[in-house]
Amino acid sequence: MPFDFTPLVPAGSPAPAAKWTGTAKYHFIGGNNDPDQVPVAGLKAAAAAVLEREGASLSQYGLNSGPQGYLPLREFLAGKLKHDAGMTCAADDILIVSGSLQALDLVHGALLARGDTVICERDCYEGTLNRYARLGVNVVGVPLDKGGLRIDALEAALKDLKAKDVRPKFIYTIPTVQNPTGTIMDEDRRAGLLALADQYGVPVFEDDCYADLIWNGKRPPALHAMSTTQNVIHIGSFSKSVAPALRVGFIVAPWPILSRMLALKTDAGSGALEQMVLAEYCKAHFETHVPQLRAALKKKLDTLVEALSEQFGTAAEFDYPPGGIFLWVKLPDKVDAMALYNAALAEGVAINPGPNWSVDKDWSRSRLRLCFASPSHQEIRDGVAVLAAVCRREFGVPVRSANIER
Amino acid sequence: MPFDFTPLVPAGSPAPAAKWTGTAKYHFIGGNNDPDQVPVAGLKAAAAAVLEREGASLSQYGLNSGPQGYLPLREFLAGKLKHDAGMTCAADDILIVSGSLQALDLVHGALLARGDTVICERDCYEGTLNRYARLGVNVVGVPLDKGGLRIDALEAALKDLKAKDVRPKFIYTIPTVQNPTGTIMDEDRRAGLLALADQYGVPVFEDDCYADLIWNGKRPPALHAMSTTQNVIHIGSFSKSVAPALRVGFIVAPWPILSRMLALKTDAGSGALEQMVLAEYCKAHFETHVPQLRAALKKKLDTLVEALSEQFGTAAEFDYPPGGIFLWVKLPDKVDAMALYNAALAEGVAINPGPNWSVDKDWSRSRLRLCFASPSHQEIRDGVAVLAAVCRREFGVPVRSANIER
């Protein structure tokens, strides 16, 4: 009889993973990107050049750059973050990590203990919310409007916590193409957030992983750039700008807290070949690649918006986002997004139900996140049609939708 | 004034990391490999071929292979593990991870809670011992002899724990080129270990990361292969056989426990480019590359052994290891290895002091681990001469050593 491991698993462990059975036919989930926009030729040339020049250094953990990551990549980032986001940071202020998911884990590891409180946007990245749940952290969600996190609501939340004698560990925000709402906080609002953070003595955790994907290429300065008190931990990623399967992200933070994260990064460094290839590629091509990628993504967004209008009419409400890879959609109140998720998946359409992407399960009950970067234009059109048919069958909305021949 | 993060760091956090200041001149530490043996041309060709053919799939987390890792790499591993280690496993029994350090974390995450007890070899990999300390796990170290873990001592330890009503969570062992002792358990001893594991209902955690580096190329079957009760979790790595800076390792385990680890692997997969390049390279070249690497490493070991004999004479005792990248050395009892470590580092020689690599701090007090793969032959000779001079100055041993002109 096979050995039974089950009694040895600690109480409170997450449920075992299910076997992977492939992706849905219409795959509107996950931060995947457009396969046609992976700069294959450029990556190939970069790999050849950097391996030829420095391949032997793969014999060393950390190459010749130490545990913070490949120095030319950190130097590229320091320049890029200055140029794009107004940030002043040196290569030594940057820690290269295995995607911004490891960045989340390291920031959480350095600052959070069970029972702590954090503030985040009410609608928020699922992976962050899941991490808070697993860590046993109390989450205060602050509402957003079309301009992102509402400063008045943030002030109220901070005041309320202070009255309860709770000092939150940080304010987590995605200020630049917020996930899932797609909003961008303008400079005034950023200043307001930073003023409150200073006033209440709460640091800011800025997740900027979508900031490269703004249609007009213009972004406000990072919170990290605007802070006068070095109270911002800034993270970013190459997953959205180059390719998600390259697991390369970064943390920019003052050394007293970055050194705490480095002490928790006990994996002997992130994948060096990916760092080397990215550095080599990005130095030469990042600035021309990203605008092409943006243009392709915006076209897919337009296809999605068109398909939603055609299939859902006024039943699907949304704000056209200024960038990103997802659309946050409100359906009529009678739609239960969790139930729609299951029914749609059975028909081959994968969507993110709102309640998984929000602190407020009621508010998000009829909302969805639809990712548009990865499916083809045809798959977007067909998938939305199937989704509308399922939604009509299950919830009676949309009442009518376009007839599409298949 | 800059924001002070310190009061926000949870109690019990590890100390902040120190700034990296480069490697020691004579660097006898870390699992680094021989820079001349990185198969640069092969990796370059593999990168070009696989990017050309499948580069667009980098747009998807997990490529087209799902969360367990790039399927062709898992298929290569299934074949290799059958051929080399006698293991029967399918691609679906394998989880690709970010180096065997992530494997340690996932196995620990799936099985260990604070206050648990584990059994390991008395002299043991520092990274494992550090993890146990951080996790608050009780460690029972079982002595080794020239044949590896002593089965009589293991039985005594299991009996003793049972008398105290303690069921250890697993027996952690590096049976094939043990770290740091370099020993290999023969098939009889492996059978003895498995019989005890079955008798006491304790699973086995087999860390086989050095198994490719045996001088004569012959290894006993893996514990995973010999178990009749599927009670073995097996981990391995490409760090030692190809290049450490490629952070690619793997876990082979029955699905009921592998699925628990997969649920804890919330990093959206390990670096895909490294997996793709490794799979492409290894399918064609692994079998010819590894014997070349072994031959080069054995030459370095011979240089180290020669240098130790010349500089330390009979003051340095060791068993010539059958493989690996390190030598476990006993110096006279008057030598305090921790003090030697500091004194040697000040002279540019980095060594691993025994107490960091052993459960038993007294037993290991005068022992060292010397890694020989990364320094050049000349650096090995010079570094050992400096080490001997420091040791003589600090502890009066070795009494005499060769005169070497510099």
Our CA-based measurement puts residue A399 at a distance from the nearest CA of chain B, in whole angstroms, of 35
B199 touches chain A (CB under 8 A): no
Decide if A263 and B14 are in contact by the 8 Å CB cutoff.
yes
pLDDT digits (tens, 9 = 90+) for A106-116: 999 999 999 99
Question: How many beta-carbon pairs below 8 A join chains A and B?
Answer: 301
A152 touches chain B (CB under 8 A): no
Cβ atoms of A94 and A250 within 8 Å: the answer is yes
pLDDT given for residue B401 in this prediction: 62
Section A325-342 average pLDDT:
98
Q: The tokens of B92 are what?
A: 């679906």
pLDDT digits (tens, 9 = 90+) for A196-255: 999 999 999 999 999 999 999 999 999 999 999 999 999 999 999 999 999 999 999 999
Section A38-63 average pLDDT:
96
- Which residue in A has a C-alpha nearest to residue B101's C-alpha? A267
**Distance between CA atoms of A180 and A178, rounded to whole angstroms?**
6
The CATH number linked to A151 is 3.40.640.10
A99 touches chain B (CB under 8 A): yes
3-state secondary structure B320-339: CCCECCEEEEECCCCCCHHH
pLDDT given for residue A64 in this prediction: 87
Of A256, A285, A314, the last residue of a domain is: A285
Our CA-based measurement puts residue B118 at a distance from the nearest CA of chain A, in whole angstroms, of 12
Section A72-96 average pLDDT:
98
Q: What is the mean pLDDT of chain A?
A: 96
pLDDT given for residue A69 in this prediction: 98
What sign results for the dihedral spanned by CA atoms A357, A361, A364, A366? positive
Decide if B267 and A247 are in contact by the 8 Å CB cutoff.
yes
Flag whether the pTM goes above 0.90: yes
- Considering CB atoms only, which of A2, A110, A230 is closest to B254? A2
Question: Within a 10 A sphere around the Cβ of A296, how many other Cβ atoms?
Answer: 14
Decide if B230 and A3 are in contact by the 8 Å CB cutoff.
yes
pLDDT digits (tens, 9 = 90+) for A283-317: 999 999 999 999 999 999 999 999 999 999 999 99
- Which residue in A has a C-alpha nearest to residue B199's C-alpha? A3
B136 touches chain A (CB under 8 A): no
Of A260, A285, A310, the last residue of a domain is: A285
User: Which chain A residues contact residue B135 at CB under 8 A?
Assistant: none
Asked if the structure places residue A259 within a domain, the reply is yes
Residue A117, domain extent: 41-285
pLDDT given for residue B405 in this prediction: 39
Section A17-30 average pLDDT:
95
Specify whether B80 is located in the same domain as B227. Answer: yes
pLDDT of A369 strictly over 70: yes
Q: The tokens of A95 are what?
A: 């820690």
The complex's ipTM works out to 0.96
B237 touches chain A (CB under 8 A): no
Specify whether A384 is located in the same domain as A372. Answer: yes
pLDDT of A406 strictly over 60: no
Decide if B60 and A245 are in contact by the 8 Å CB cutoff.
yes
Of B285, B314, B329, the last residue of a domain is: B285
- Considering CB atoms only, which of A48, A67, A274 is closest to B273? A274
pLDDT digits (tens, 9 = 90+) for B224-255: 999 999 999 999 999 999 999 999 999 999 99
Decide if A61 and B269 are in contact by the 8 Å CB cutoff.
no
Specify whether B44 is located in the same domain as B150. Answer: yes
Cβ atoms of B181 and B143 within 8 Å: the answer is no
pLDDT of A186 strictly over 80: yes
Decide if A271 and B270 are in contact by the 8 Å CB cutoff.
yes
Decide if A271 and B274 are in contact by the 8 Å CB cutoff.
yes
Asked if the structure places residue B12 within a domain, the reply is no
Specify whether A264 is located in the same domain as A300. Answer: no
pLDDT given for residue A1 in this prediction: 83
Cβ atoms of B227 and B194 within 8 Å: the answer is yes
Specify whether B333 is located in the same domain as B220. Answer: no
Straight-line distance from the first to the last Cα atom of chain B, in angstroms, rounded to the nearest whole number: 52
Asked if the structure places residue A322 within a domain, the reply is yes
Specify whether B54 is located in the same domain as B30. Answer: no
pLDDT digits (tens, 9 = 90+) for A382-391: 999 999 999 9
Q: What does the DSSP assignment read for A221-232?
A: PPHHHH-SSS-E
pLDDT given for residue B403 in this prediction: 53
3-state secondary structure chain B: CCCCCHHHCCCCCCCCCCCCCCCCCEECCCCCCCHHHCCHHHHHHHHHHHHHHHHHHHHCCCCCCCCCCCHHHHHHHHHHHHHHHCCCCCHHHEEEECHHHHHHHHHHHHHCCCCCEEEEECECCHHHHHHHHHHCCEEEEECEECCEECHHHHHHHHHHHHHCCCCCCCEEECCECCCCCCCECCHHHHHHHHHHHHHHCCCEEEECCCCCCECCCCCCCCHHHHCCCCCEEEEEECCCCCCCCCCCEEEECCHHHHHHHHHHCCCCCCCHHHHHHHHHHHHHHHHHHHHHHHHHHHHHHHHHHHHHHHHHHHHCECCCCCECCEEEEECCCCCCHHHHHHHHHHCCEECEEHHHHECCCCCCCCEEEEECCCCCHHHHHHHHHHHHHHHHHHHCCCCCCCCCCC
pLDDT given for residue A44 in this prediction: 98
User: What is the distance, to the nearest Å, from the Cα of residue B159 to the centroid of all Cα atoms in its chain?
Assistant: 28
Low-confidence ranges of chain B (pLDDT < 70): 401-406
- Which residue in A has a C-alpha nearest to residue B243's C-alpha? A59
Specify whether A161 is located in the same domain as A214. Answer: yes
